Structure 1
Amino acid sequence: MSAVKVNDQTFQTEVLDSSKPVLVDFWAPWCGPCRMMGPLVDELAEELGSDAVVVKVNVDEASETATRYGVQSIPTFAVIKEGEVVQRFSGVLPKETLRNALVA
């Protein structure tokens, strides 16, 4: 299962209402570091399977959500559990850093 694309309309259902931990990748197609992280995020989604949810939020298409979560640089990653942000990261990161934050 690859990362799910979400927008302002689906964020509540796909992320905040999830009973599983969620990794949110705030990105944009014109962002070089975002394009570098994209395949790693998809790999992580595949590896975690049904243990967690991995979503991608295109900040150009979901500006309301990006603003609500204070995204000022991309890529920004947020780990959300039970509707609350428990960790945030920015920039290019090892896949293991994201995995460890999600399953901790």
Structure 2
Amino acid sequence: MASEVPGDLIIGGLMMVHEREDTITCGPVMPQGGIQALETMLFTLDIINNRDQRPFSIGAHILDDCDKDTYGLEMAVDFIKGRTITYLINFPGTFKRWLLI
């Protein structure tokens, strides 16, 4: 599961939104921890992007590790190696650059 917020600068997030499940990839949603952390990050980005008049916006690419260490580690390595997704960043008044997450 992934949640994406468009922006000029993208922050990667890895959260435990679903519970661990041995039979399938993810179990039920963790209402007291996982979903609250996700909502907090999304709310914070909304506040930051609407508070100031800045020349760029902050977005996010958030993944759910389903409370599995091995699954989370694999996703984290993909973030580091840039295999997850590629975004084009264009800061006004500057050259275009690539940010790999």
* TM-score (norm: length of structure 2): 0.37
Structure with higher Rg: it is 2
More helix by share: 1
* TM-score (norm: length of structure 1): 0.36
